[in-house]
Amino acid sequence: MSWSSPQHQQPGGWTDERQPGAGQQYRRPMQVAVRARGVRKIYGRGASEVAALRGIDVDFEQGAFTAIMGPSGSGKSTLMHVLAGLDVVTDGQVWLGETELTGLNDARLTRLRRDRIGFVFQAFNLIPALSAKANIELPLTLARRKPDQGWYDSIVRRLGLTERLQHRPAELSGGQQQRVAIARALLPRPDVVFADEPTGNLDSTAGAEVLSMLRSSVREAGQTVVMVTHDPVAATYADRVVLLADGAVAGELFSPTTDSVLDALRRLGR
C-alpha cells in the first residue's frame, strides 16, 4: 500500500461530504483547547521524591498542531499524561475547554477521555483481537455512539485504509497500524488528539506520512493536535513547539524549522 501525498489527494478529503463546510466550524483561532496552570507532578515521597513537573503554565490553541519537546526526563510525557486525564496532578489545574480536569474522579475522567480526547501512541497500541475497523470504531463503541458514516468514509479513504479494514493489527505494517491508530483518534471528533512519539517505532518514510496526516487533519479539518516528540524533524510539522526542561517550560518556537529546533534544544542542553 503506497501512501499518496496530500498534494495528490482529491480535494476536500478531510471534510465531511454529507455536511459540506462542516470542517470550517473548527477554524476559531485563539480559542484555547487545553490550558494548564501551575501544574506540578511529584512522584514518590520524602527522600525518594522526584518532581517531574514543577509548575507549568501553558495553553494549547484550538485548531493548532503543537509539539512538546525536551530532553529525556524533562517531563514531556508526564505533561501529556496529566493534560490528557490519564494521570492526576499533584498541584495546579488543567482545563479541557471549559472543563476542569483536576478534581474529576476516575469514572468521569474515563468518560471524558472516551468522549473528548483522542490518543496516538508510539507503540500503536491497537487491540490485537479486533479488526482494523473495530479498532477504529472502538472509542465510539465504548461510548455507545454510532460513527458518522460520511466522516468515517472520508477518514478511511484519506488514510488509505479502505483495503485493510478487515485485517487484524498483526497483519498490518507499522505504518498501517499507526494510520489505524490515527483514524481511531480522529473518528470521534475529539476536542484534542494527543500523540506520544507517534513516529518512534516507524521508519522515516512511514513517519513522514503519519506526520503529514496529522498536520493535514489540523489544516483541513481544524483538529487540535498536541504531540510529544524528541525528533526535531517531526517537530517541524507543528505550528508551534513548546520546549520543556527539568519539568518547566523553557521556551517556545513558532513555525519551527529543523535548524531552529536543533538550536533551541542545544541551548536547553547547556
Partner 1 sequence: MFSLSLAQLRSQAHRLVATAVAIVIAVGFVVATLVLNDSSRQTVLGALASQYLHTDVVVAPDDTGEVAPQTLAKVASAITGNPAVAALTFDSSTYVSARLPGRAAYQFSQVTGLANDEVLRWQKLEEGSWPSEPNQIVTAVGRDLEVGSVVEIRIFGAEPGQETVQATVVGLTERSSDIASIGTPLFWAASDQARAWGATSGGALRVAATAGTTPQDLALTVRQTIQEIPETEGLNVRTGEQEAEALADALTSDTAVLANVLLVFAAIAVFVCALVIANTFSVLLAQRVRELALLRAVGAGAGQLRISVLTESLAIGLIASLLGLLGGLGVAAGISALAARYETPVPLAGITITWPPLAIGLAVGVVVTVIAAFMPVWKATRISPMAAMRPLDDAPVRSGGGLIRRLLGLLLLIPGAGAIWWGHQEYALHAVIGGGMATFLGTLLLARWLVPLLVSLVGRIVGPAGQVPGRLAALNATRNPRRTAATATALIVGVTLSTTIVSAAATVRAYGVSEIDETYPTDVAVSAGQGFPDDMLNTVTALPHVQAALTVTSAYLEIGRGRGERDSQNVQAINPQEASQVMRAVGQDMPTDGTIVFPSWGSDEGGWDYADGDKITLWAGQRKVELTVRRGSDNLNDVRMSRNDLATLKTADAEVYEIWVRLADDLGKSERADAVDAIARASADADPDSTLGGSAEARVSADEFLDTMLLIVLSLLGVAVIIAVIGVGNTMALSVLERRRESGVLRALGLTRSQLRWMLLWEAMLIAAVASAIGVALGAFYGTGAVTSLFRLLNSDGSDVPAVIPVGQLAAILIGATLSGALASVLPSRRAAKVSPVEAIASL
Q: Which spans of this chain sit near partner 1 (rule: CB under 8 A)?
A: 81, 84, 86-87, 106-107, 110-111, 113-115, 119, 121, 123, 125, 127-130, 138-139, 141-144, 168-170, 184, 201
Q: CB of residue 253 vs partner 1: minimum separation in angstroms?
A: 27
Q: CB of residue 174 vs partner 1: minimum separation in angstroms?
A: 9
Nearer to partner 1, 81 or 215 (CB): 81
Q: CB of residue 141 vs partner 1: minimum separation in angstroms?
A: 5
For residue 85, the SS3 value is coil
Q: CB of residue 121 vs partner 1: minimum separation in angstroms?
A: 7
Q: CB of residue 218 vs partner 1: minimum separation in angstroms?
A: 21
Which long-range contacts does 11-16 make (Cβ < 8 Å, 24+ apart)?
Answer: 13/154, 13/157, 13/158, 13/216, 13/220, 14/154, 14/158, 14/216, 14/217, 14/220, 14/221, 15/154, 15/220, 15/221, 16/148, 16/150, 16/151, 16/154
Nearer to partner 1, 15 or 131 (CB): 131
How does DSSP classify residue 183? H
Nearer to partner 1, 15 or 77 (CB): 77
Nearer to partner 1, 36 or 241 (CB): 36
For residue 259, the SS3 value is helix
Nearer to partner 1, 42 or 138 (CB): 138
CA atoms within 13 A on the CB side of 242: 26
